[in-house]
Structure 1
């Protein structure tokens, strides 16, 4: 059905439109506006202003009834996301969408975690920031899974550097080929028990190393306007009033705003990119105002899709025309396919009886990291699985659960609540998921949302390679803790489903061949080069590292390419 006549065209034409305000949308906005382009930034959710709109940023545990647990009625509104355990507390529930208002469908379980507001999931992310190496960018070519990345580490290295200088990544140089060093601010030190693990692993294993986590929490705010250093509150998910962790709200969007070239419009649901067959390019987007229901067309010369892997691909799939009957740029048939997410919730825990006299101040928002050590060389090649996993973890003293009235009384209670418990340590493994064509998302036009748009159906699962990887990860986590001398070591492997890692990737992958991929080496749609996709949808593989830093580097690179090409055409 042609809906053209139900939309009114906005009077101003922009140089560029950015869809989404999260990690990549913020970077696209910053780079495009600083490059002189008049840029419209569209966000489907509500406005969130830095500091002003962080309602729980300074709350203490005693400020909440029932220790912050939500009621059963509230739980129903986030029933699918509640399966993950992330959102169900009074301190952060407002960042996560209402599942009843924003439904989706599952052929197989998919834990889709979403935040619809200015800043997106940049307000809620775990801030782990790692570069990828050529081990990752060459993996598809070397083992035959997926398609070859059209870029290599050397293509992204200067853009990693640009991003890191602005973001601020705390960490320490280690010189590991599989995990290139970033430009760091001072690392957050390991505590005494984490150091104990580091020493124990170093003494017993030659193929792996415990290093400091690399996180986007500032330890040196110099030169970063409007931001201060981390206060070790570990309340990051609530929104940081100090701007100490990187988010669009504290960093990239204010930078874009300072140029005078950004128009930010929240409550704007983009659902279609307009394609002009005569010009063979996109000319704008169709938007539904989430508050008024008004339908508007916005025009621009360049469009950046940064809404997140699933929303971006949903928009592309809805953008149908005579030229693209199955979705914008879908000549390859790969749009919606090759959906990936990291698998985790597997590892081990233990107890240390050492350092009983030692404690710490503050709540350090980071721990330790174990870079991938499987399938990184001939000597580390595994027979059972390809690719690999990294490990994240931390150590702390147990909480004061003995203060529960039913468990102890009188003198024993008084003594228990003033003594810290034993040191505990935990390891959690994050593993790579291969890019399977059959792992996909589709649109359901029989089940529409409240704006009359199709809902998304997921058909995605982890397969044998991931399962075998998990088995090894659990065994190695146990072995490391035992070798380092920890006691009461226990392995664990909890249920984990795609989406739960919050690193959804693929669905509009980059590649060298238009017949097997959606995007080229510059993140342009092969057949519609004025449309760029730089969020998780563009990824051709998942690696084992958290992907956000790579998203940012790809976005900065693509935006600067777009600026240069646009200026050439304007001369």
Structure 2
């Protein structure tokens, strides 16, 4: 596969500029380039080309210098990233250096980042779930925050469009609150997970157990094969970068698709300082942005790039940081911030709560491979009157869940020495299973980020200051998430069931959303129904910053669908000479 094009237009002028090369930015680049627009992608971090820049993709633990562990120096370098529990020697190079990229915490916030080409599309969990009409109506139905300016019918065809390209494996359930999508064959539950499914669905009305819907190719289609993507090998080493292109990432899919058009260029090591507002078009009416100011992280030189359309897809908080720092006479408090909502309504998913237990029996059964997904239990609370919980709003699901047998690593936690002990570890251990809950966080206005007045990073850009926390609704929800998990395991015959609640900080779900929300009214929102800034029509934000509520399912497929939809709208408007 050819490397991504880094040859730039000598005039620094393009039809479209996309800030960020991750989940949303990759889609924006692909869609613009395939529609014939000369497109520049600006990426804060280093270049990562598919396959050649995945250094640990084939290594076993014993092949690594520190056998998978972080050194004391690494722990300092990644002192915030390690709060997630995801960072070890095999993947540290795909997480951000916290010393070089500081921020301030009025309240703890775990900002987990990946500053490189592809961003967190290389390390995401790959779970893919559509939102439903129930979710888009939730704010209006409950009088929370503001109403979404779109509904499921507006985005449903775009879900289908992106799912076919992404490649999503999953099982159709026919649930109105979790719409089915364009699925490849699902991965299989193992024998214990099938037992759990049978018991739960018999004993708990309205609860469903399925295999996780994930962006993994179980049966590649022609368009996947054309890009060099292949079938999932069930290695479960996804966050190192997949040499088979079996899971969806910008690096394996959208950026190569953009690259092959001849309309694409990417510039790594490009730290976006701000958007440049064209004061001549400002006035009292809506004006336009004319370009982007960039700091080259290798030379520290400032460079300006210009375009008719700008898509801000740097990831939720980085996008908001850019907009807040884009000040002018027209926008003294940040570009598009007439409503004062820019930076507010910060959300995430809260998790690390649930239960685990052991299971006696099935010693004669095992499973093949290390499938990169597990059990998924869709939301079943607060869907209708029958499922209403009087203690909290919204709901939760269970994922990062599944059953398995202990492997040789269990030797770290049991007593024993000598050859016979070591030999015993090469025999499968007992069966066990865990359920991890994912809950919705409400869009509280007071959960916010602002720019520091006195602290900057080493490039002179004001640091973000976080002031956000879980509130009473989420704490009450967590109690139910925990007790429900334990009850399901116990009624399915599990022993030694233990509940856990390791909340950490907001942000640990790595699904930060909000801070530049969509809405119908410019007085209460930053973006309109097309993801445009209300007051700057040629600037669009299609990453998690645009979200008006959070739901309890993974949001990435919604970002992709919104991005493809917004590009289609933007190009049509450009062709009509409205941009």
TM-score normalised by structure 1 residue count: 0.97
Instruction: Report the Cα offset of residue 222 of structure 1.
Output: 1.8
- Residues 228-276 of structure 1, C-alpha deviation per residue, up to 9 Å, x if partnerless? 0100000000000000000000000000011111111111111111111
Asked if structure 1 preserves the Cα contact closer than 8 Å seen for 2:91 and 2:240, the reply is: yes
**How many Å separate the matches in 1 of 2:417 and 2:442?**
54
Q: Do the aligned partners of 2:348 and 2:509 also contact (CA within 8 Å) in 1?
A: yes
Q: Is the 8 A contact 2:407 2:426 kept in 1?
A: no
* Count of paired positions: 562
Aligned mate of 1:560, from 542, 546, 568: 568
Give distance in 1, aligned partners of 2:539 and 2:93.
32
- Residue in 1 aligned with 2:183? 184
| 2:504 alignment partner in structure 1 | 496
2:52 alignment counterpart: 52
Structure 1 distance, partners of 2:205, 2:292, is 54
Tell me if 1:202 matches 2:201.
yes
DSSP-derived class of the 2:310 partner: strand
Contact 2:132–2:152 (Cα < 8 Å) also in 1: yes
Contact 1:10 1:297 in 2 (8 A): no
1:327-349, Cα deviation, whole Å (9 max, x unpaired): 00100000000000000010010
Counterpart among 305, 322, 338 of residue 315 in structure 1: 322
**Residue aligning to 1:516:** 524
2:514 aligns with one of 491, 503, 506: 506
Match of 2:540 among 516, 519, 532: 532
Deviation at 1:368, TM superposition (A): 1.0
Residue 409 of structure 1, CA deviation: 3.4
Helix, strand or coil for the counterpart of 1:62?
helix
Question: In 2, distance between residues paired with 1:131 and 1:437?
Answer: 25
Aligned: 1:13 with 2:13: yes
- Separation of aligned partners in 2, 1:12 and 1:97: 28
State the SS of the aligned residue for 2:160: helix
The alignment's C-alpha RMSD in Å is 1.5
1:347 corresponds to: 354
| Conservation of the 8 A alpha-carbon contact between 1:36 and 1:261 | yes
- Shift in Å at residue 398 of structure 1? 1.1
Match of 1:240 in 2: 242
Give the C-alpha shift of residue 412 in structure 1: 4.1
State the 1:405 CA deviation: 11
Structure 1 CA distance for aligned equivalents of residues 274 and 80 of structure 2:
27
Whether contact under 8 Å (1:344, 1:496) holds in the other structure is no
1:424 aligns with 2:426: no
Stretch deviating more after TM superposition (512-521 or 63-72): 63-72
Following the alignment from structure 1 to structure 2, what is the Cα–Cα distance between the partners of residues 322 and 442?
19
Q: Does 1:441 align with 2:440?
A: no
Residues 177 and 96 of structure 1: is their aligned pair in 2 closer, same or farther, counting only changes over 3 Å? same
User: Any conservation in 1 of the 2:80–2:110 contact (CA below 8 Å)?
Assistant: yes
Task: After TM superposition, give the deviation of residue 68 of structure 1 in Å.
Answer: 1.1
Deviates more, 1:30-39 or 1:65-74: 65-74
Following superposition, the deviation at residue 462 of structure 1 comes to 0.3
Distance 2:127 2:109 in 1: 23
Partner of 1:6: none
Report the equivalent of 1:31.
31
Aligned partners of 2:470 and 2:343: how far apart in 1? 17
Change (3 A) 1:539 1:413: same
Segments of 5+ residues of structure 2 without an aligned counterpart are 1-8, 282-286
Give the Å deviation of 1:220. 1.1
Change (3 A) 1:570 1:410: closer
1:403 deviation in Å? 4.5
Deviations 1:444-500 (A, max 9, x none): 131111111111110000000000000011111011111111111111111231110
Distance in 1, Cα, partners of 2:408 & 2:349: 33
How is 1:357-376 mapped onto 2 (pairs within 5 angstroms)?
357-376=364-383
Aligned to 2:458: 450
Distance in 1 of aligned mates of 2:418 and 2:18: 62
8 Å contact kept, 2:407–2:427: no
Return the offset for 1:218.
0.7
1:3 is matched with: none
Quick one: which of 295, 301, 311 aligns to 1:294?
A: 301
Which aligned pairs between 1:235-314 and structure 2 lie closer than 5 A? 235-279=237-281, 280-314=287-321
Measured after TM superposition, the shift of residue 81 of structure 1 is 1.7
Change (3 A) 1:66 1:407: farther
Matches within 5 A, 1:481-492: 481-492=489-500
Cα separation, partners in 2 of 1:411 and 1:335, compared to 1, 3 Å: closer
The within-5 A match list for 1:150-169 is 150-169=149-168
Change (3 A) 1:534 1:570: closer
Q: What residue is the counterpart of 1:116 in the other structure?
A: 115
SS in 2 for 1:350: strand
The equivalent of 2:22 in structure 1 is 22
Which of 351-360 and 146-155 deviates more?
A: 351-360
1:170 aligns with 2:172: no
1:45 Cα deviation from its structure 2 partner:
0.5
